[in-house]
Chains A and B, each alone.
Chain A
Amino acid sequence: MIWFYKLPHRALFLFFLTIGTASAHTGSGSASGFISGFTHPILGWDHLIAMLAVGLWGAFLGNPSIWLLPIVFPLVMTFGATAGIVGTPIPGIEIGIAISAVTLGALVAFAARPPIWISSTLVGIFALFHGYAHGTELPQSANPLVYSVGFVTATGVLHLLGIGFGLIARWPAGKIAVQTGGSFIALMGIAFLSKIAS
């Protein structure tokens, strides 16, 4: 038993081996459900840029936002997804998602530093829109149970990517790069918004 504790990399290997084997042999059920859930936030550009912006902003704001925003987002997102799953009508979801990209991108671009409760509330409100969009597609997926695990994981991974990029803001040149990234996200959000409006 002792060797097991002394060699965490072996346990890690075994762990991933188990997960990999389980996912790879599930046929049309679990694997495809997870993959479709995982790819939903990544292949949807509006989701992707907003998720990156959450991570960027969190990293830009520093402690405690760096960990609070990526925690608040998936937790509140579940409420939106629940509304989507049960079919509660919420108007303007696509507009809300585009506005989330515009707002979060602009906040990063202008280096806004509101109080923590404002940033958390803002991110929470946007999480509802994103969650609803994922939730409406959930019951139609091959395996809705694993689909939900997939899109939550993908959302978190995008947050972490945003945080990773946002951490370069501690250097002057990095700060400019992050703010430029925020501007780019805001512009893309405006493009989505105009596309929806037209």
Chain B
Amino acid sequence: MTRPILVLWHVLWPSHLLLPLSTGLFFGQQQLNNKRIISILFLIATTLGLFGSWFFINLKIETFLLIASALTGLLIAAHASALTTLMRFGYMGMAVVVGLSLGFDSAQETLSGTGQVLSLCGSGISFFILLTAPMLLSSYFNQKNWQKIGIRVMGSWIAASSVLVLTVLFTLNA
């Protein structure tokens, strides 16, 4: 396995790609003013989750990740927004849960030593970019009507892809 692949290994999994993408798009769509706090919380939670997966936790929560990304995709498509104070804390909580979940699901059993460290670091960096880049894009391109339509359409793609991947997983496991 080459180094670039080692670093980006987890991003190749659909659940690890779809969830941060959908969460980032959702946060950006909501026009939050605490995006920095949210992304820092996400980074901390992801790091904790990755450390957890390294030492003792080996959760297989792919189904949860896919259901979460499908629901988030639907929220984007519906352009659901509720910018109350309570919801602002809800967004922070969502960032923490998503970060922890992605970290916990990133256990690398086949690697050890430097390879494992590289893999975990790469996963953390990738998850952070996969959340913040769509968040920036969807908040930046959220002014004109066609831009809002584009974000909603992307939400429906994520929801549809997540449901399909879930179906395939269940079919393969059956």
Contacts and interface: CB of A to CB of B under 8 A. Distances in A.
B contacts with A: majority SS? helix
Interface residues of B, number: 45
A160 B152 CA distance: 12
B5 interface: yes
A8 B152 contact: no
Nearest to A134: B164
B81 interface: no
Nearest to B7: A21
A85 B40 contact: no
A81 interface: yes
A66 B145 CA distance: 11
A86 interface: yes
The 10 closest A-B pairs by CB, nearest first: A15-B133, A148-B164, A74-B160, A71-B156, A67-B149, A78-B163, A8-B136, A149-B161, A11-B133, A22-B8
20 contacts: A8-B137, A11-B129, A11-B133, A11-B137, A12-B133, A12-B137, A22-B12, A25-B5, A26-B5, A67-B153, A70-B156, A71-B153, A75-B156, A138-B164, A145-B14, A145-B169, A148-B14, A149-B17, A160-B150, A160-B153
Interface of A: 1, 4-5, 8, 11-12, 14-15, 18-19, 21-22, 25-26, 29-30, 63, 66-67, 70-72, 74-75, 77-78, 81-82, 85-86, 135, 138-139, 144-146, 148-149, 152-153, 156, 159-160
